[in-house]
Structure 1
Amino acid sequence: MEFAEFIKTPQVDNVILRRPFRKPVEGTLCVMGHHLILSSRQTNKEELVLLHSNVDSVEKRLVGSGGTLYLHCKDFSILQLEIPSAEDCLNIGSSIEQLSNIDDTSIKYPFFFRANFEVMEDGWQAFLPENEISRFKECADEWRLSYINKDYKVCPSYPHAVVVPKTIDDETLLKVAQFRQHGRFPVLSYYHRDSKAVLLRSSQPLTGTNGRRCKDDERLVNSVLGIGRRGYIVDTRTYSAAKAAQSKGGGYELEAHYPQWKRIHQPIERRQVFQESLIKLIEACADTSATTDKWLSKLESSNWLSHVKDILTCACLVAQCIDKDAASVLIHGADGHDTTLQVTSLVQVILDHDCRTFTGFEALIEREWLQAGHHFGMRCAKSAFAFTKNRQESPVFLLFLDCVWQIWQQFPCSFEFSEEFLITICEHAYSSQFGTFLCNNEMERKELKLSSKTVSLWSYLNRPEVLERYLNPLYDPNPAVIWPTVAPQSLELWPGMYQRSYLDKSKKREKWTEIAKICEYDKELRSKVNKLRRQLASLEREALSAGVIIPVGLDTDMNE
């Protein structure tokens, strides 16, 4: 495919770019194969470099002899381009629409991007299952790494290696995979060092209307419990939805066959509902003329914060079972690669302080989303502005990040990274020069050889000069479990994500810069005080050894 066939007007002069909270810029607009570039006429500087893949929808308005393009982006920003000629306006709008909807992954920009920085650490190799299993070294006697899926034939959406009980051989795993939806048999997601309980994830069992059972599945699930210990199976569907799934061949675990497990239904809406909710939310944010009552009504009717509450509630329930009750948990919905991953990820953010650091959070996304087979290619193909017939798109990952932000808001000192770090990851999930979030699973990424043909996002982010931009100045390492509240008054709309085109964030950035300076000054001051304390203590020891009497009142207390 040649990109040139989509570009009828490659360059236009005297185009005016308007963006919220920034001065208009006049310049030359160029339509490239992957980018839209506008260079200023005054400074000859590139004022806009926009990936076509970031454009969700294009709105064209013709006025007189010219026209205006409104580019609604997947990151919820809105750009306005005033073009002198109506014909050029229509041509460029048509080009952007076609170039932003190319389905062939192999010709997307990450395959053409060449890093203009030194790659210090290959992000593709940073979080392999073989490396991550070291996190579970405390239970190495009970769990092992299985390569039964090395050719992706057992489960196309699983990685090449998974952690399973040592007592279960690969032949048994093969039988269990045939009993679970899409072959997603139960695997280890997290081991809690304090309580010795584990978190498993899978897809629904294929019990059907006849109550089919699989003794190998029962043996695998029961093998993670010790003698006399009980566990919980948390189903993210309502009981009626799980019951209805039986008529389609799915279903749930019958407690008669899993006597050590108690089944709990903690419902979370399905992905289709999430997409409709996001569209309503962004429409509400765009209505800047709404009264307070109307705004609150629109926000409530979108149900977005209700979804956030449901996901957090489920995650807190699972975390409580693991930490307080020392009970192992198996979690699944239907397919196991959407709401299941939201919950397993958030449980680890709550329980494991390592997941609240830069590399720990990146490893979490790799383990629980990329390697676990979340369909980024389909779910993030479109955002809130595009009305398409393809019903596969859904803000599942965005909702997870929103939940993390809610916890971040409640525990601002417990996260090493800032709000901007979460926003940046979300932006790259929808549109990026890096290959990390391309495709739907590890198998597809291997087929397209992403690790050798594209650059990993983690290779870019994990450079010290980049991480410094996202450092939370209030961070104070907290090894304890953190328990977020899900009370309605505790949950907020994320303005930095959804209202970036309507709220000026410059003042907030200035305040965070001031906070960072104060924290840095405080660190320097503490360092100097500690140095003086050490010097004074040394002088005291020398004086005492020399027999010198120290005057009363002279001590090392320098807190004032």
Structure 2
Amino acid sequence: MDAIRVSKVEHVLCTKNGSTLSGTIHLTAHHLIFRYDGGKENEMWVPYPLISQVTRLPQTLQGQSPLTVHCRTFETFSLHFSAESDAIDVFESVKELTVATSVFQLYAFFYSPNPPLPTSNGWSIYSPRDEFGRMGIGTRTKAWRFTDVNKDYSLCPTYPAKLIVPTKISDTTLQYASKYRSKCRIPALTYLHWSNFASITRCSQPMVGITQNRSIQDEKFIEAVFQTHVSPESRVSNTIVYGATTTNLIIDARPTANAVANTAKGAGTENMDHYKDAKKVYLGIDHIHAMRESLAKVVETLREADTLLASINSDLSEQVSGVSVLDRGALRRSGWLRHISAILEGTVLITRNIHINSSHVLIHCSDGWDRTSQLSSLSQLCLDPYYRTLKGFEILIEKDWLSFGYKFLDRCGHLSSDKFFVSNTEFSGSGGGADAAQAFLASMQNRFTSQNHVKETSPVFHQFLESVRQIQRQFPERFEFNERFLHQLYYHTYSCQFGTFVFNCERERKVGDGSGPPPCDRTVSVWDFLNSPSEMEQNLNPSYDPSLDDRASRAPGADMGVLTPNPKDVRFWHELYGRTDEEMNGRQIPVAVRPELVGPIEGSEDDPVNRASTPSNVPLPPSPSKTPMSNSQPLPRNPPPNPLLDSDELSSSVPELASLNISGSNRESFRPFSSTSSSFSMKPQVPSSNSDPSQPSRPLAISKAQEFFVGGGVKSVWGKLSSNASAAFSAVQGAYDGVARDLNTRSGPASPVPSKSEEMNIRSHLPSWGEEAHTISSSSSPPSSASFSLPTVRNPWATVNTSRPSATSVFSSYENPWGQSEESALTSTSTGGENTTLSSPLPADPTVSHPPTLRTATISRSQSVASARVGGETDADKSSSSSSLSASSDPLGVGLS
């Protein structure tokens, strides 16, 4: 081939696992082969698709030119060439052979086993009619039927040709329902439980959008799915299923934040007001990019350990082996085990709902081919012992991964990219500054090329295999296959030796591009290789005990063949990474299950996604043209205990917010940039002409979504008023003006327990700098109470003399959020020695820390100490000491401590 610049290089040093040996490198059309001199080690064969990265380094002091090769099998080796030209030729040849422009250039289309494999039925090992017939479709139940609506892949190109749907749903309804699901991936049956008629169906996210779109066909479709076990004519046996229809679940595998982001793009999640007899749960499993970054941190830690070990060996005369230099803390910080724990947590939830609650489960994520495939296949692995056999596990992968359209080509990155071939020799030359700058730009361009191709890669199937390994480790006697079988599957997922894992969907495998025979006829199936006698002998689990899966067994500890793994008991699959268990895991530390799981959710009022993505679902200040709400009931003074309280939770605690009718057709459309009726306007409500002028208007509570748009998430008064500093200053000025007016118009004796307005009025007596200090006292204070005086401190906010009329504020037409008018000021009364405090008409701001309320107009130190009950002092001791409060500790009057 023209891509091979050099086919053979001798006297090359290969460093691997801390040891360095000499040998010869061979480059073929599909493999890099290293043959050790003297046969000291077995030949190393590396298929080009297994190469994840190649780095060419500058010459060493010994005059050698090294190449570092990283493989997808987590192996790293370095090749040291005596001539730089050989290193360049090998680097460029491997790059040309690894970076493919078409899937038909991969090894699978050139591989021909010699001798031929004993079996050749790998491409037909999975038959939908046989597999779903085994579950009981058409025999145990008649509630489900096969449909050929997608026989030519016209309904959904990424779905299988054979689909199983409820019998009550016609093909016409399927056509309409497909338009409501992302990529037309409608709900389709993937599993029917053997002990009851509970089902697992899978689909993609609904196209809800911020306008809350609906599809009657989709709603009827899912309703029919959740009722497939209740119709008398749907079953051969009409026995009652205990516990059915109690907890039908819609599983949204994503975090709520991801669902909100998809809503902004026109998709989203189900509005549970429209789906009967069901609840929804968010599992909080991160997207493909988070998984890719997490595994990258694991790989980086492994490579750093290899580099450190190689450095130690190069500094010592004798090579060191068996030394663990792996940073286990860095492995845990990668979050990889946390992600696997979240997947297993969702698996347990689905398994229990199917087997124990005898209820249905509908699973989806975004497009329904990544997290959906993981959860669906792992749940079936736990529910059905058949899938824990060799043949059953192969059928499970064919059904839930290959047939339902997992994107192996994109996620595995089979075509590779120039980005993964890095040459760090640009700056080693002796050229001038212009050459160095040009080399720098070339290197940066190399780093940022092919990003669109790389961002689709993610170790989703790898994560599934590692999750299976976790269950296999917890239940070692329940699997017919061993760890080696999983390891072989992982290897051939990336080797591209077989055609099973090199395409994105069933249509691409069975139809192809139309230019020739379909790929299934041109390539060998991986199952033909794994089912050969020599391989099966090595892949069998000697401790497998099928009697433990006896469904009729009532022995102690019997589980009817249904497994319930522990999500916290997860460890790194050390065999896959080529390490020991002690090296990677050490002492077992249980992984805490993540708190992102949200649910069950029965209606839209409980759904955080609907509250965050649909502005009309949150209590918002109405526009001035709207009729204001009633002010007959005062809002509570005390703030909610949670500063991030959601809007619906706040509505349940505030009567006026709960009485608002903002659902249905009366909801305002989402117009965040409208100047007249913006849903996110922060202006207080302006009373209309028919409202009571004596009752002050009250600003509505602000939800988290509003805080995000208005204040950027900053929990402060300024973020709620305005981002304009001058407007905020004017509001504060107006507040102090109102307080001064309240002080001048007050009359009568001071109450023992002042209201919030009285407390602010006391603070308004702060004198200006240089003025004489005032002493505030109360005739109703206890005899032991010593009055305090405010020292001479000027109020920096008092820009206007309170004796003159205040200047007009920009907020003059709205309610002052701090001050109160004389008519609306609420005072407290004292009856029989008991203090009774009326509620303030203003809502307490949950994001502002309120100072403690002054008990009397005259506050003594003795009262404060007595109320605290510190130590063993007597009341006489507590009342013996008093001191004046220095205003320098509170120059702005924001609170007394």
TM over 0.5: yes
**2:533 equivalent to 1:464:** yes
SS at the partner of 1:331? strand
CA 1:128/1:46 → structure 2, altered by over 3 Å: closer, same or farther?
A: same
Query: Match of 1:171?
Result: 172
Query: Match of 1:427?
Result: 491
Distance 2:74 2:87 in 1: 22
The aligned runs of 1:431-450 (5 Å cut-off) are 431-445=495-509, 446-447=511-512, 449-450=518-519
- The answer to whether the 8 Å contact 2:478/2:545 transfers is yes
Tell me how far 1:216 sits from its aligned partner: 1.3
SS at the partner of 1:164? strand
Query: Match of 2:349?
Result: 317
**2:570 equivalent to 1:491:** yes
Distance 1:85 1:247 in 2: 57
1:398-440 deviation line (CA, Å, top 9, x unaligned): 1111111111111011111111111111111112311100111
- The answer to whether the 8 Å contact 1:76/1:501 transfers is no
Query: Match of 1:509?
Result: none
- The answer to whether the 8 Å contact 1:69/1:93 transfers is yes
Deviation above 6 Å: which 4+ runs of structure 1? Answer: 290-294, 382-385, 501-505
1:68-88 deviation line (CA, Å, top 9, x unaligned): 222111111123323332110
Query: Match of 2:30?
Result: 34
Distance 1:485 1:246 in 2: 33
Bigger strand fraction: 1
Distance 1:485 1:503 in 2: 21
- The answer to whether the 8 Å contact 2:11/2:22 transfers is no
Distance 1:410 1:398 in 2: 19
**2:544 equivalent to 1:475:** yes
The aligned runs of 1:139-218 (5 Å cut-off) are 139-218=140-219
- The answer to whether the 8 Å contact 1:57/1:97 transfers is no
- The answer to whether the 8 Å contact 1:21/1:504 transfers is no
| Percent of aligned pairs with the same amino acid | 33
Tell me how far 1:293 sits from its aligned partner: 11
SS at the partner of 1:485? coil
Which one of 371, 379, 392 corresponds to residue 403 of structure 2?
371
Distance 1:239 1:486 in 2: 21
SS at the partner of 1:466? helix
Query: Match of 2:475?
Result: 411
Distance 1:157 1:139 in 2: 29
Give, as a single letter, the amino acid of the residue that structure 2 aligns with 1:359.
Answer: K
Distance 1:431 1:76 in 2: 13
SS at the partner of 1:472? coil
Distance 2:52 2:473 in 1: 29
Distance 1:454 1:395 in 2: 24
Structure exhibiting the larger radius of gyration computed from Cα positions: 2
Distance 2:47 2:368 in 1: 32
CA 1:95/1:354 → structure 2, altered by over 3 Å: closer, same or farther?
A: same
The aligned runs of 1:51-450 (5 Å cut-off) are 51-61=47-57, 62-63=59-60, 64-116=62-114, 117-137=116-136, 138-226=139-227, 227=230, 229-230=245-246, 231-288=248-305, 295-381=327-413, 386=420, 389=451, 390-445=454-509, 446-447=511-512, 449-450=518-519
1:491-539 deviation line (CA, Å, top 9, x unaligned): 111111124499999xxxxxxxxxxxxxxxxxxxxxxxxxxxxxxxxxx
Distance 1:139 1:94 in 2: 61
**2:44 equivalent to 1:48:** yes
1:324-358 deviation line (CA, Å, top 9, x unaligned): 11110001111111011110011011111111111
Give, as a single letter, the amino acid of the residue that structure 2 aligns with 1:455.
Answer: V
CA 1:440/1:501 → structure 2, altered by over 3 Å: closer, same or farther?
A: farther
Bigger helix fraction: 1
CA 1:110/1:96 → structure 2, altered by over 3 Å: closer, same or farther?
A: same
Query: Match of 1:511?
Result: none
Give, as a single letter, the amino acid of the residue that structure 2 aligns with 1:58.
Answer: V
Query: Match of 1:537?
Result: none
SS at the partner of 1:149? coil
Distance 1:265 1:45 in 2: 51
Further displaced range: 387-396 or 327-336 = 387-396
Query: Match of 1:530?
Result: none
1:459-488 deviation line (CA, Å, top 9, x unaligned): 11112221111111111113211111112x
CA 1:492/1:41 → structure 2, altered by over 3 Å: closer, same or farther?
A: closer
Give, as a single letter, the amino acid of the residue that structure 1 aligns with 2:412.
Answer: C
1:42-97 deviation line (CA, Å, top 9, x unaligned): 46998122211111111223334432222111111123323332110121012112
Distance 1:502 1:320 in 2: 31
Query: Match of 1:557?
Result: none
Tell me how far 1:292 sits from its aligned partner: 9.4
- The answer to whether the 8 Å contact 1:77/1:500 transfers is no
**2:11 equivalent to 1:14:** yes
Distance 2:169 2:529 in 1: 39
Tell me how far 1:123 sits from its aligned partner: 0.5
Tell me how far 1:225 sits from its aligned partner: 2.6
Distance 2:385 2:210 in 1: 43
Query: Match of 1:515?
Result: none
SS at the partner of 2:77? strand
CA 1:284/1:502 → structure 2, altered by over 3 Å: closer, same or farther?
A: farther
Distance 2:19 2:483 in 1: 22
Aligned-pair Cα RMSD in Å: 2.7
SS at the partner of 1:5? coil
Distance 1:126 1:256 in 2: 42
1:152-187 deviation line (CA, Å, top 9, x unaligned): 221111111121112222221111111100010000
- The answer to whether the 8 Å contact 1:201/1:340 transfers is yes
Distance 1:466 1:219 in 2: 48
Further displaced range: 250-259 or 176-185 = 250-259
- Unmatched tracts of structure 1, length 5 or more: 506-560
Distance 1:436 1:341 in 2: 17
Further displaced range: 430-439 or 223-232 = 223-232
Tell me how far 1:147 sits from its aligned partner: 1.9
CA 1:393/1:141 → structure 2, altered by over 3 Å: closer, same or farther?
A: same
Distance 1:283 1:40 in 2: 28
1:1-54 deviation line (CA, Å, top 9, x unaligned): xxx332222221223334338883523x22122111234554699812221111
Tell me how far 1:297 sits from its aligned partner: 2.8
Distance 1:23 1:504 in 2: 22
Distance 1:36 1:258 in 2: 56
Distance 1:422 1:25 in 2: 33
- The answer to whether the 8 Å contact 2:106/2:496 transfers is no
SS at the partner of 2:327? helix
Further displaced range: 63-72 or 377-386 = 377-386
SS at the partner of 1:481? coil
CA 1:269/1:395 → structure 2, altered by over 3 Å: closer, same or farther?
A: same
Aligned residue pairs, count: 499
Distance 1:22 1:176 in 2: 61
- Unmatched tracts of structure 2, length 5 or more: 231-243, 310-322, 421-446, 550-560, 585-897
Query: Match of 1:517?
Result: none
Distance 2:204 2:325 in 1: 42
Distance 1:21 1:158 in 2: 47
Give, as a single letter, the amino acid of the residue that structure 2 aligns with 1:99.
Answer: L
Query: Match of 1:552?
Result: none
Distance 2:361 2:213 in 1: 22
- The answer to whether the 8 Å contact 2:204/2:367 transfers is yes
